[in-house]
Structure 1
Amino acid sequence: MDWHHNILVFISAAFAAGIWQAGLYSWKLPVLTGLAVLLLLVSAGRVAAKSRQAFWPLLGLFFIAGMLHYTQDRLIRADDIGYYTGQTAVLAGVIAAVPVVTETEPDSRQVKYIVSVQKIKPAPAGAFIQASGKISVTARYPDRRLKPAAYGDTIQVNGRILALHGYNNPGQIDMTAALKRQNITARMSTQGQTIKIIMAGNTFSWREILADWQQGIAKSLLKVMPVNDAAVLTALLFGGYQGINKNVIHDFATTGLIHILSVSGAHMALVAGLLRWLGSWLRLGSLTTAALAALGVMVYACLSGLTPPVIRAAVMGLISLTAVAAGRENHAPAALAVTALGMLAYQPLLLYDISFQLSFGATAGLVFLYQRTLDSVARLPAWLAGPFAVTVSAQLGVLPLIAWHFNSFPPISVVANIVVLPIIELVIILGLAGVMIFMVAPGFGNIVFVVSSLLIGCVMMITALLAALPFSSVYIPSVGLTGSACYYLLLAWMYGWRPFHGPGPGQLCRQYPRLGLLAVILAAGVLAAYSWYPRPLAVHFIDVGQGDAALVVTPHGKAVLVDAGGSFGSSGFDVGERVVAPYLKHYGVTAVDYLILTHGHQDHAGGAAGVAGAIKINHVLLAREEFSPAVQALLHTKPVITVIPAYAGQSFQLDGVAFRIEQAVGDGALRHQPAAGNEVSSVIRITYGQHTFLITGDLEARGEAALLKQGVLPCTVLKVGHHGSKTSSTEPFLQAAAPEYAVISVGYGNRFGHPHPETLQRLQAIKSLIYRTDKQGAIVFQSDGKNIKVDTFVK
């Protein structure tokens, strides 16, 4: 690339860096505006003078522009619905998206609406006032005779307006940011019968027609193929995981093929490639062929619903086709940079979107690394070298992102892309052809669908076999921003970037073999020393919503998990698999030495089976009570876990950290207590040097009284019992425990009213510093045995 194309890449990177910087710290708009004007004048002067010194002012200008754009984008109108969070109100607005219907029980369903708010009547007010913004409304319909509202309807709904809130843990996919990217600033849960349709929508909605058409295709598929095959084919054609067997999703993820279940750049490239081949076969000419391929990409994007990832893939596909038609394939880096710049200018929050990150990371890997990777495997057969180079280049481009978001890397993806991906591509082509044929001749379309189903069965069998192989997926640690920068610099050097005309890796090894060997030995020694050197004790209180989960990591990396959270109701969301296990992996925990469950309630033990399915658990300490469904699910996971009944006085040590069961179900005063009560919760004391942590589960007043009779030693940190309920944390117990810090694990806006104001007052009376997972997210204490410090995810 020449200088002009290089600078496009650098200014796009500067713009993205400005967005990232503004997301870390708050900046004053007048200051940013002044800096932007100053840099604009300097840049314009140097560009007019055709000076090469315009490079740095231009980079600074786009960096400030990114900061300015992000800061401006986060401003919301004064009448936005987000300002009414915490209030009960009646609001009126128009349903702005096709409602999503989920069957929850045989006779009930849940409907999610996106409402564009027009007016609101807060509880104290007597009349409606103007409002704006969008709100996500989840309504439960217990009776099928109740008809949900439709897209375009003007509705009126009343309820409590809540702020957007997800699980605030590091390494967690930020679903709140995903909603904000859609301009949704609040949420509400209500009953379907409270929603009144003020005016039925009478406007034309292509999205509603498209949704009905897609549902019709999905129902047609169910008539000729098994349910799971139909769900997989629907995902391959239109995106989404709905209805797909959980094991199939796991196998696709393990083999690195999960991206194919969402409409992405691979789909657009397949459609464009097929149409280009067709145009070449028909001898339509390069320009006509490119136009045909572009039309196909746009039509497919529309049929897939024009979701943000689909739009992004389509735009990238159209730019690539334009470059090919103009004979400018070598300008791909500049085209990629311009695409990223345009998308971030349209929506700066896309920078934090995992789909955006992976799409551009993989594409950048192909643009910058593919040719050299292909050259390095030139001795392989062409049918093998091409797919191998594509897979390796894309994976190298996104490795730090995969480490941060998933902490796992699928080496088997190279084999899967060579063996399985061609079959999947054939299924997509047949599926699209079947859809078109079905609309004209349903009988012939069904034949194509049956063939597609047979191929899907073959794909699922092969992916299951590959996923079951040893080391099909390996753990990789999160390396953070500094580690990622070092990785990309090293990768660039290995692929030919030579700053200051320095030697490459091959030249270095040939000219200085002993020095190279010494460097490798030194690096290995440093890594070994770093992994062996003891770290401070870390006690993590994970944000699991309305539940409990605490992770203890000892100085040499041993891990103990106390409770594992859990979801209420029938949402199907597994907190253990989706929240706790990713948190553990993010902090390098690949095995849990002890899992201690204070008791078997869903909000403490419901996630245990999900954790055990993702991370090895060596021992589990269980309360001596009738096993709840959550505990039974844990005990049925494989491999079999060693179960140890919990007794008062039981203790063990790991790396100098002492764990003691202070109170256990079935002992002493708790022997005759009902097993279903919270007061039977076990209590665990963790001691390291001068500091102790007391974890009380759901302990209530009666359990605290029993504990007081045998004596309660003071503690540094108290995990407040029963999420801060009114019936826990009695004054005598708090006086005896005298915690310097109090941690309340509680869900935002929970229906129980936790933590109770009286409990907070009692904690404040003993001058305990209060931390809450609903406000501060994950809370981490670190101690060297003498000193202690606390850090929170939400500052």
Structure 2
Amino acid sequence: MIPAQLDIRLVPAAVAVWAVALVGLHLGWLATVLCGVLAAAFAFLAVWRGTGAWANGLLAASVLAGAAAVVVTSHALPAATHPLRELASKGATATIRATLSEDPRPLRTKGYAGRPAGADQVAVRARLSDEPGGSVLLLAPAVAWSALLPEQEVTATGALIMPRGGDFTVAVLRVRGPPIAVGPAPSWQTAADGVRAGLRDAAKVLSPELAGLLPALVVGDTAGLSPRVVEEFRLSGLAHLLAVSGANLAIVCGAVLLLFRLLTAGPRLSGLAAVLALVGFVVLARPEPSVLRAAVMGGVTLLALVLGRKGSAIPALAGAVIVLLLFDPGLANTAGFALSVLATAALVILAPRWAAALRDRGVPVGLAEAIAVPAAAQLATAPLIAALSGEISLVAIPANLLAAPVVAPATVFGVLAALVSTVHEGAAELLVHLAGPEVWWLITVGRRAAAVPDSGVPWPSGVLGGLLLAALLVVVVLLLRSRRFRIVLVLGVVVLVLTAVPVKLLKPQWPADGWAAVACDVGQGDAVVLAVAEPGRAVLVDTGPEPLAVNACLDRLGVDRVPVVVLSHLHADHIGGLAAVLAERSVGAVAVGPLREPAWAMKEVRDTVAAAGVPLIELSRGQRLEWPGLALEVLAPLRSPAPRTSETPLPGTVVNDASLVLRAHTPAGRMLLTGDIELATQAELLASTVDVSADVLKVPHHGSRYSLPRFLGAVRPRVALICVGAGNDYGHPSPLVLHSLAGVRVLRTDLDGDVAVLATRDGLATARRGEPRPPPRR
């Protein structure tokens, strides 16, 4: 229920402006013109027949909606009729001159097959310099474009493609090489870039993960962020800390206000200093639309704090929404804008009431604020997050509650370090050291929260899912005002716990007793764990495409010591989790095959292994490795790779066919691990004297169609394990392979989750965890 003292008269006008902007973005300029006509009609009605507050409100909403229609049409019509739009529809090539509007943003990939994890491309928005102008999106090589700064003019040639819609982009230009010409950057952008670089350099005194997070937390500089940290923060509900938000601005301006008040400065001088700090921070973090949005929301947040979250906070928020959307209507369709508005509204509407209620029940003031603010923000943003992600996080509120106390000091120390870095490197490093414990705590909270099992409840995604959750939350909040409902709710939670815990205990035990091998569900990639006859010890063959999944699997199995990690070949979906395994397990060695391609992957493995202080060894045909209860034989590659005479990357098929093929002798029988070998190597193995028969087959290449039925038949497996990602784009596993395995017990990680091969008194058995990872969202 909205407190009576809040002034919401401007809220309908803000909603109307937002609605008109969304109509223009999704339905085009003709629909926006119709909105303008309707707004004029309602304005005429309000003037002609209306009296009192409702008429004034209708008039204000109609006039502002009409203004929004004019602004949106002025963006949508030129974009829809731009000459480049027609060329893009034909896939033509064009040369353009444009001024960059933002920093080039890395397009991060998890890494699949021969493509490296990380970012080999950047996306950057730009304004066309030649008439008739307009906004374009450039997709370009990271090497040649990453160092460019906003407001630099570039000339580039590339293939035009149609934009995806939902904004006013004229066209997308896919650039293959460096810019043809680059103009100078403005001095203020160069200065800001120097300060950002100074913070990055000073942060290097911390460990790599901490050094990457601090600039992201302070100024939104994500260049050094670890992909593992990004994923953990997403799962734990802390992703908002990785971008400049209104909270950053409120912290910086609040610190300046506090400092000047401690110096007994007057309110005008203190306010002027806060405004200057706001402007300076915007320049430092880049005056891009998202940062300007954060600045406005930070100003509203600061106003709420100064005014005790009363009085003008809601009108200020509504006014900010109107101004921002009239300035940049494209914000209406961005999740960041909606999340900022919802979180700020929660701060000024829900948080003060909840904090007051907690104080009335004896909770200390600081603790009441610390609980109420993140809880209110998470409640307000939960429907939109559920609509986008398709799940409700059960750890987001606790994680934000634990993270909140250190965000402000880390931000303040980080900003000071950035500013001081231009003057004295040692002082900047000292300030970074002061921020280090706070950043470490944030990573620890994110990591622990992300590792909580079953921390996300599946929920319908999309608009309907978001509206359903919003309605449910509104009903619950209203009912919580009733003492009887609170008692019923508590009893319901108790009953749920008492029923859920036994169900959890009655579920099949995992890991299953006597497991000899487990194919981990790591998405579209391989990771097979082979048990050693010592508790907590196992050999790992491949590490999947990303760090969280393989570590989670090893955690579930209770494996903390790995005598050797074998990388069957150097494609990203087999080596992506290596760094995380080395960071969190005791690893004896890392083994690779004779082929050291792709070159980028070999360098990544070599650097990762060296940083961990673990030896890197090479395996070749005929070698045998033994541990208690486990032996590995290397069956292939059958021959050494030919010397390389060219720097041209090898085709993916060649790298796949050079995979290490291993025969594992386990208590459950013989197991054939085939990496990603394809037709050529399978045919060579059949033509050789190598015995490929086995009780268990790890099906080659995720069950791709490049497998010989004769090879699968020659193995004669009783059990076939297919490591494959749910909803993958490759058509894995192939129906042809599944047909060839008719009569064999087939277990798939996309359907069965982690799957295990067991050694029992009756012989070989299988088990499945039954909780596969959801398919990746596109």
Matched-pair contact (CA < 8 Å) for 1:101–1:109: no
Shift in alpha-carbon separation, 1:206–1:109, aligned structure 2, 3 A: farther
Are 1:387 and 2:334 an aligned pair? Answer: no
3-state DSSP class of the match of 1:91? strand
Matched-pair contact (CA < 8 Å) for 2:343–2:377: yes
Shift in alpha-carbon separation, 1:480–1:438, aligned structure 2, 3 A: closer
Mapped partners of 1:520, 1:216: distance in 2: 54
Give 2:482's aligned residue: 506
Letter in 1 for 2:365: A
Give 1:337's aligned residue: 318
Give 1:556's aligned residue: none
Shift in alpha-carbon separation, 1:147–1:466, aligned structure 2, 3 A: closer
- Higher relative contact order by CA 8 Å / sep ≥ 6: 1 or 2? 2
Give 1:271's aligned residue: 252
Matched-pair contact (CA < 8 Å) for 1:410–1:474: yes
Deviation at 1:563, TM superposition (A): 9.4
3-state DSSP class of the match of 1:439? coil
Deviation at 1:23, TM superposition (A): 5.1
3-state DSSP class of the match of 1:74? helix
3-state DSSP class of the match of 2:332? helix
The one-character-per-residue Cα deviations of 1:114-145 (angstroms, maximum 9, x if unpaired) are 554456xxxxxxxxx98765341514769xxx
Give 2:297's aligned residue: 316
Mapped partners of 2:87, 2:162: distance in 1: 9
3-state DSSP class of the match of 1:293? helix
Give 1:401's aligned residue: 384
Give 1:12's aligned residue: 14
3-state DSSP class of the match of 1:243? coil
Shift in alpha-carbon separation, 1:139–1:458, aligned structure 2, 3 A: closer
In the TM superposition, what are the counterparts of 1:100-111 in structure 2 within 5 Å? 100=104
The one-character-per-residue Cα deviations of 1:553-580 (angstroms, maximum 9, x if unpaired) are xxxxxxxx999599xxxxxxx99889x9
3-state DSSP class of the match of 2:237? coil
Matched-pair contact (CA < 8 Å) for 2:24–2:73: yes
Mapped partners of 1:418, 1:20: distance in 2: 34
Matched-pair contact (CA < 8 Å) for 2:403–2:442: yes
The one-character-per-residue Cα deviations of 1:420-449 (angstroms, maximum 9, x if unpaired) are 432332222222223333433333332222
Give 1:661's aligned residue: none
Are 1:296 and 2:295 an aligned pair? Answer: no
Mapped partners of 1:252, 1:72: distance in 2: 39
Which of 34, 37, 57 is the matching residue for 1:34? 37
Matched-pair contact (CA < 8 Å) for 1:431–1:449: yes
Shift in alpha-carbon separation, 1:72–1:671, aligned structure 2, 3 A: farther
Which blocks of at least 5 consecutive residues in structure 2 are unaligned?
A: 109-114, 501-520, 527-542, 550-567, 582-634, 638-652, 663-667, 673-678, 689-698, 710-728, 735-774
Are 1:362 and 2:343 an aligned pair? Answer: yes
Give 1:437's aligned residue: 420
Which of 352, 356, 372 is the matching residue for 1:375? 356
Deviation at 1:365, TM superposition (A): 1.7
Matched-pair contact (CA < 8 Å) for 2:249–2:298: yes
Are 1:229 and 2:232 an aligned pair? Answer: no
Deviation at 1:457, TM superposition (A): 3.4
The one-character-per-residue Cα deviations of 1:564-598 (angstroms, maximum 9, x if unpaired) are 599xxxxxxx99889x9xxxxxxxxxxxxxxxxxx
Are 1:189 and 2:192 an aligned pair? Answer: no
Deviation at 1:27, TM superposition (A): 7.2
Tell me how large the CA RMSD over aligned residues is. 6.1
The one-character-per-residue Cα deviations of 1:717-757 (angstroms, maximum 9, x if unpaired) are xxxxx999xxx9xxxxxxxxxxxxxxxxxxxxxxxxxxxxx
Give 1:346's aligned residue: 327
Mapped partners of 2:703, 2:431: distance in 1: 60
Mapped partners of 2:127, 2:456: distance in 1: 45
Letter in 1 for 2:262: W
3-state DSSP class of the match of 2:311? helix
Matched-pair contact (CA < 8 Å) for 2:459–2:465: no
3-state DSSP class of the match of 2:244? coil
Shift in alpha-carbon separation, 1:20–1:626, aligned structure 2, 3 A: farther
Deviation at 1:56, TM superposition (A): 5.5
Give 2:162's aligned residue: 163
Shift in alpha-carbon separation, 1:490–1:334, aligned structure 2, 3 A: farther
Mapped partners of 1:373, 1:148: distance in 2: 46
Are 1:89 and 2:93 an aligned pair? Answer: yes
Mapped partners of 1:154, 1:335: distance in 2: 36
Mapped partners of 2:669, 2:23: distance in 1: 48
In the TM superposition, what are the counterparts of 1:549-568 in structure 2 within 5 Å? 564=524
Deviation at 1:329, TM superposition (A): 3.1
Mapped partners of 2:658, 2:363: distance in 1: 51
Deviation at 1:388, TM superposition (A): 0.8
Deviation at 1:342, TM superposition (A): 1.8
Give 1:261's aligned residue: 242
Shift in alpha-carbon separation, 1:466–1:333, aligned structure 2, 3 A: same
Mapped partners of 2:574, 2:337: distance in 1: 33
Shift in alpha-carbon separation, 1:444–1:371, aligned structure 2, 3 A: closer
Mapped partners of 2:147, 2:395: distance in 1: 45
Matched-pair contact (CA < 8 Å) for 2:103–2:150: yes
Deviation at 1:246, TM superposition (A): 3.0
Shift in alpha-carbon separation, 1:259–1:696, aligned structure 2, 3 A: closer
3-state DSSP class of the match of 1:216? helix
Identical positions, percent: 20
Mapped partners of 1:439, 1:147: distance in 2: 22
Deviation at 1:333, TM superposition (A): 1.8
Deviation at 1:665, TM superposition (A): 12
Mapped partners of 2:468, 2:105: distance in 1: 46
Matched-pair contact (CA < 8 Å) for 2:309–2:348: no
Give 1:208's aligned residue: 190
Shift in alpha-carbon separation, 1:486–1:246, aligned structure 2, 3 A: closer
Deviation at 1:97, TM superposition (A): 4.7
Letter in 2 for 1:288: L
The one-character-per-residue Cα deviations of 1:224-245 (angstroms, maximum 9, x if unpaired) are 3333332222112211332223
The one-character-per-residue Cα deviations of 1:490-509 (angstroms, maximum 9, x if unpaired) are 5445556xxxxxx9851775
The one-character-per-residue Cα deviations of 1:523-546 (angstroms, maximum 9, x if unpaired) are x9xxx9xxxxxxxxxxxxxxxxxx
Letter in 2 for 1:44: V
Shift in alpha-carbon separation, 1:354–1:412, aligned structure 2, 3 A: same
Are 1:426 and 2:425 an aligned pair? Answer: no
3-state DSSP class of the match of 1:5? coil
Mapped partners of 1:410, 1:114: distance in 2: 32
Letter in 2 for 1:424: V
Are 1:43 and 2:46 an aligned pair? Answer: yes
Deviation at 1:397, TM superposition (A): 0.4
Letter in 2 for 1:206: W
Letter in 2 for 1:235: A
3-state DSSP class of the match of 2:312? helix
Matched-pair contact (CA < 8 Å) for 1:5–1:334: yes
Letter in 2 for 1:35: L
In the TM superposition, what are the counterparts of 1:448-459 in structure 2 within 5 Å? 448-459=431-442
Mapped partners of 1:643, 1:70: distance in 2: 68
Letter in 2 for 1:331: S
Deviation at 1:65, TM superposition (A): 6.5
Letter in 1 for 2:425: P
Letter in 2 for 1:388: I
Shift in alpha-carbon separation, 1:39–1:234, aligned structure 2, 3 A: same
Mapped partners of 1:520, 1:95: distance in 2: 58
Mapped partners of 2:657, 2:235: distance in 1: 27
Matched-pair contact (CA < 8 Å) for 1:110–1:139: yes
TM-score between the two structures when normalised by the length of structure 1: 0.57
Letter in 2 for 1:307: E
Shift in alpha-carbon separation, 1:187–1:401, aligned structure 2, 3 A: same
Which of 65, 73, 76 is the matching residue for 2:75? 73
Deviation at 1:112, TM superposition (A): 6.1
